[in-house]
Amino acid sequence: MKIIGLVGMPGSGKTLAVNVAKNLGIPVISMGDVVREEVKLRGLEETPQNVGYVSKDLREKEGPQAVAQRILAKIKKEKAPVILVEGIRSLQEIELFKTLTSDFTLVAIHSSPKTRYRRLSGRGRSDDAKDIRIFQERDLREINYGIGAAIAMADYMIVNEGSESELMRKVQTILEGIIQ
C-alpha cells in the first residue's frame, strides 16, 4: 500500500488537494476529522478555540502521535492500493505512517500567512479563525506541534499563491506521478 501524506498550514490549500485526490479515486483520511470527532465526543462546540484545545490536549496526554494513532485502524481497513492522509503535523506522525508501508510520500503545500488568513476568513468553516489574533495563535500551535519540520521533509513542495485551478493542476500532476 502507498500512503501519501499531505502537510500544510491552515488555509494553504489542503482541501483542494484532497478534492483532486478523491477525483483520482484515492481514498482520503483526515487527521482534522479525528480531532473534530473528539471535540463532539467531549460535548464541545466546534470553534477554533475548542478544536485547538482538544488537539493540544490529545497530544499532551497521549504524545505527539496521538491523532495519527487514532487513524491507524482506518488506514489498515482501507483496501485501496493508495491512500492519502491529510493534515500531518509532525515528524513523529510521519514516522508512525512509515511503519505501515515502505512506500510513503509526503507532499507539502505552502502559502504565505497573508494569503492563508484571507482564505480562512472567507471560507466559512466553523473552526476557521475570523480574527487575526486567533489565526496567529493557531499558526503558533501548529508550529509547536512540529509542522515546520514536517514541511521541510516533504518529498514534494507546492507553492500555492495563485488560483484554485492552478493549484489543482499542480496537485494532479504530482499525485498522478506518485500513483503510477
Distance from C-alpha of 28 to C-alpha of 48, rounded to nearest angstrom: 23
Global model pTM greater than 0.75: yes
Q: Per-residue pLDDT tens for 96-141?
A: 999 999 999 999 999 999 999 988 887 766 666 678 888 898 899 8
pLDDT, one tens digit per residue, over 29-74 is 999 999 999 999 999 999 888 998 999 999 999 999 999 999 998 8
CATH architecture of 2-179: 3-Layer(aba) Sandwich (3.40)
Please state the φ and ψ torsions of residue 17, each to the nearest 5 degrees. Answer: -65, -40
Centroid of chain to Cα 153: 15
